[in-house]
Amino acid sequence: MRPREERPAACAARGPRPRIGPASGWLAVEVGLAGGRLSRSDGPRAPPRTTPAMEELLRRLQETLDVLSPQELRNFRAILKKVDEEPRVSPLQLELEGGSTSGLARLVAKHYNPLAAPRVVVKVLRQLPRTDLLPRWQSDPAADGAVIPRKILKRNYDCVDGDLERYDLSGRRKAFLMCMKKNRPGADQDVVLMKQWLGQCQFEYTLCIDPDKMELLEKLASFRDGLNEIKDEISCCLVTLMSHGEKGCIKIKDDDRVSLEDIFEMFNNKNCPALHGKPKVFIIQACRGERRDSGVETDDEPMDSDNVLETKRLPTFSDYFIIYPTQADHVALRHPRTGSVMIEAMTEVFQQYGNKWHLFDFFTKVNNRVVHTEFYLREEPVKVSLVMESTLTRSVYF
């Protein structure tokens, strides 16, 4: 098996078998309290005995609540009063006991048994929405991957609650997945991995395989028009394009070129009003040129205004996030059996960490894995680094 660039097969058809990268060992490639809540009694009583299950529940609750912003904590208390799980927490209990995160954690832990409490927390998190915290409460708490994401770092200026806002992704998530398989060994595996990743991130996707130029543009336009028709239901759009490529474009059937800027423009605020203020994510798996990097050896939120009646305006291009598999003018890497290096790293990082991080941090971790993996092309070292371009105004959690 040989490492391949994202170029026609004839361009990478020669050369000896690749070596195993010494740093990573990868093939160098293109590639429960029973009985409900505690009861009350008149007069003095002994404090409830803490069980291991109670201690674990308290710890998980505290970790979750510590991640929430002040506004999210207020919303958490409001939702908790109305959550569909008996017995409900009363407003008086919340006022007396739930003023702090530690008090709120103790209140939930003693009010619900360790089996019911996770259901309650899941219901509240879904309504916040903080779906990025759900895996912690829907899986084995002792699992290695069950990690609470770190709280977003506070900025040192102009902070109201101290946390960067998150996009509301409680609506439908729509994705377009295009892949050119011809002359791209390993592309089948890319499609499998991307379908898996999109499913885990709760996307409904439209598949487009080996289109010609007209078919691709028509399907993209149809996909975009479909978003505009269900405007109020859409919360996020993701477009994945996997093909050969060169600077500023992708190459498809019959060696036709399609400009990436033309595709990005189809989903801007002028042409796709359904996505106003909503994240538009583009994952591009294609070469951006022919240069190769052999590496270097080393030693080691919108502003608010009062009493102003005016139409809200947005830049033509906003809320975009674009990820490329390599630097400008450079080749991308793909293995003929395991698929593209970036796509494989994406799925591995997601399997390990899930949706614990917002999008930029997630791809930073993916890039870390790619950058520190050794690859060889025709026995020559080749290094790649992912490139992120962003006009996002909030954090994206899938």
Tell me the catalytic residues: 244, 287
Q: What is the distance between the alpha carbons of residues 12 and 377, in angstroms, rounded to a whole number?
A: 9
Q: Is 168 helix (H, G, I), strand (E, B) or coil?
A: coil
Q: Answer for the pair 319, 8: CB distance below 8 angstroms, yes or no.
A: no
Task: Write down the H helix ranges in the chain.
Answer: 52-67, 70-82, 91-97, 101-111, 116-127, 134-138, 187-200, 213-229, 260-266, 341-353, 359-371
Q: Answer for the pair 295, 375: CB distance below 8 angstroms, yes or no.
A: no
Instruction: Mark residue 54 as left, alpha or beta (left: phi above 0; alpha: psi -120 to 50; beta: remaining).
Output: alpha
Phi, psi for residue 141 in degrees, rounded to 5: -60, -20
Sequence-distant (6+) residues with CB within 8 A of 297 are none
Taking the CA atoms of residue 339, residue 204, residue 350 and residue 67 in that order, the dihedral angle to the nearest 10 degrees is: 160
Q: Which helix (H) or strand (E) holds 375?
A: strand 375-377
Phi, psi for residue 283 in degrees, rounded to 5: -110, 110
Partnered with residue 172 across adjacent β-strands are 234
